[in-house]
Structure 1
Amino acid sequence: MEKKHIYLFCSAGMSTSLLVSKMRAQAEKYEVPVIIEAFPETLAGEKGPAADVVLLGPQIAYML
């Protein structure tokens, strides 16, 4: 099965990096084939289209 890409975008990165760490641990535990990465919101336009799932931090939701 092909790995899915889950990208998280936020402005600060501190809480997002913690969430990424926990998501990766659960994906590994349950053998879910995913690649989970966090990026600053400035890269959303560049990286977002390549993702299967995009999660946004609440502080950047206004960008929608």
Structure 2
Amino acid sequence: MIAVRILNECQSIRENTNVFDKETHMPLGSGMKLFYHLLPQKIIRVDILELLNVEQPIVI
């Protein structure tokens, strides 16, 4: 699952979602869509007061 990969890796969100897309043979961008879907579902929680930069690792 993408949430577990983001928690365990210290890579950027974009790198993790690209690896997820390749491993699951899904179209590129699917992992990013899944990440953005997990945010409002409160499966992944982030500090909304900070700018979300997908090129940087984030604290969840």
Q: TM-score range by the shorter chain?
A: 0.3 to 0.5
More strand by share: 1
Higher relative contact order (CA 8 A, sep 6+): 1
Provide the TM-score with structure 2 as the length reference. Answer: 0.35
Q: TM-score, normalised on structure 1?
A: 0.33
Larger Rg: 1
